[in-house]
Amino acid sequence: MASTTVYRQLLRLARELDRNPMSKALIVASPQELFDRRMRAVVSLPQADGALAECVSLLGGFNSATPGQTSEFYAPSRSAVEAIRRCRRAPLANDPIDVGLAALRALGVAVQGGEALQQLQPEVPWPKLPEAVRLRPGTTPKVGSLLLTHPVSCLAQPSLHHAVILLVSVSEEHVLGLTVNKPFVNLDPTAPVAPLLGAAVHEAYREGLGVLRDAPLHLGGDVAPTSLLALHSLGALDDSRAVSEGLWVSANLGEVRAAVEALPEQERPVGTPPPLGRLKCVVGHAGWAYEQLEAELRRNVWFLLEPDDGAELAPLALMQPLAAPPPSDPFGSAWLRDALWAGAMERAGGEYLELGSFPGDHAKVREQMMQVESLQRDLLQKRLDMLSKEKERDGE
């Protein structure tokens, strides 16, 4: 009887989860594997014992896009109701009541957390990407693919929260990507403007940048933080590599400068920065061993998306902050981060669209998850205490 009651409660919560993809995204399971940087290989992790560990393993099956596998983070279009039904049919090593109570806590955290996060609306509405931009879930990382951070996979790494990473180099050994939605914000509160490209190089080299000195600087990633690259739509220059139709990447800033200076005057007004719609300068990049990225995709750390048409990628990747950002975001950094991440999620359609409304405020998301988890832990303990007292009365 108790087992049936727990099962019904789980189904009730599962139905609530299926109505709210934001809640489902809060369900997190333990990873089965991680990439060991010292060994440069993916290693399997030992699984813990106990009812909670078994519950977490079952929830990992819900998160996975592949039946029979488990994954750490939620994959869109998974049914919570179906996952609970599968769990009831699965053989359990621990007491079903214990496993069920652990699952109740996990699903309760997700339901309440999702409801709370829905109230955190952005101060400035996020603009939509052009209707022509269409994205679809990808299967294999390749040049021109986009990685979008799972809403809760990088809460321990705020620099990756709501990141949109464009893959510009993919081989059997390494993958290199550039974050395209994070302006390099000047952390000095007295500084009047965000850093420009000229501020990122040694003084002796600034004169050689010419018009590029006034180009806004973007954070491409945490790897090689002193390296400079340019994404551009200036044509197939000698030292540039094609990323997609109309989009190239180059480490030769002198070549890029010459191409900018050769533009017609109407595309390069005197006294203004370089053509913002055709150039994005980034410092640093993101990088993985190929096996490492594959393992992270299996864990759903990233959503892998691809454009339906390669020509759609250039305007998306070269998107810049608002010309007049709101007072709460003077550099337009949060605006670009959230607008591009949410817009790309929306263009993937289905449950990706609903996940696109996930709050961009990293601190608030992390705080809300911790508060709700603490509340659920207290409520669960009260239920367990009540159950213990009932057993004592029955023994009497």
Task: Specify if 162 maps to a domain.
Answer: yes
How confident is the model over 259-318, as pLDDT tens digits? 998 888 777 655 566 777 789 999 999 999 999 999 999 999 999 999 988 888 998 899
For residue 384, what are the domain limits?
2-119+361-395
CA 37 to chain centre: 22
Task: For residues 95 and 171, state if they share a domain.
Answer: no
pLDDT at 387 over 70: no
Task: For residues 11 and 91, state if they share a domain.
Answer: yes
How confident is the model over 31-57, as pLDDT tens digits? 777 788 777 888 877 666 677 677 777
Task: Specify if 126 maps to a domain.
Answer: no
How confident is the model over 195-226, as pLDDT tens digits? 678 777 777 677 778 888 888 889 999 898 88
Rounded Cα distance, 129 and 232, in Å: 19
Task: For residues 113 and 15, state if they share a domain.
Answer: yes
Task: Specify if 95 maps to a domain.
Answer: yes
What's the pTM?
0.87
Task: Specify if 163 maps to a domain.
Answer: yes
For residues 236-258, one letter each, b for 16 or more C-beta atoms within 10 angstroms of the residue's C-beta and e for the rest, the string is ebeebeebbebbbbbeebebbbe
The CATH number for 321's domain is 3.40.1740.10
Helix (H, G, I), strand (E, B) or coil at 179: strand
- Give me the pLDDT at residue 194, please: 56
Rounded Cα distance, 385 and 234, in Å: 68
- Cβ-Cβ contacts under 8 Å for 326 (sequence gap 6 or more): 123, 124, 335
Task: For residues 233 and 344, state if they share a domain.
Answer: yes
Task: For residues 167 and 254, state if they share a domain.
Answer: yes
The count of domains in the chain is 2
Percent of the chain with pLDDT strictly greater than 90: 30
How confident is the model over 240-259, as pLDDT tens digits? 999 999 999 999 999 999 99
Task: For residues 152 and 224, state if they share a domain.
Answer: yes
Percent of the chain with pLDDT strictly greater than 70: 82
Rounded Cα distance, 51 and 185, in Å: 45
Task: Specify if 336 maps to a domain.
Answer: yes
H helix count then E strand count, the chain = 12, 12
Task: Specify if 211 maps to a domain.
Answer: yes
How confident is the model over 17-26, as pLDDT tens digits? 999 998 999 8
Alpha helices by DSSP H, the chain? 2-18, 21-24, 51-63, 80-89, 96-117, 203-209, 253-261, 290-298, 313-317, 333-348, 351-355, 362-395
Which is more confident, 190 or 119? 119
Task: For residues 329 and 233, state if they share a domain.
Answer: yes
Task: For residues 18 and 50, state if they share a domain.
Answer: yes
- Give me the pLDDT at residue 271, please: 54
Task: For residues 333 and 366, state if they share a domain.
Answer: no
Task: For residues 344 and 211, state if they share a domain.
Answer: yes
Residue with tokens 């009887």: 1
Full DSSP string of 85-103 = HHHHHS--SS-HHHHHHHH
Which is more confident, 179 or 52? 179
Task: For residues 365 and 253, state if they share a domain.
Answer: no
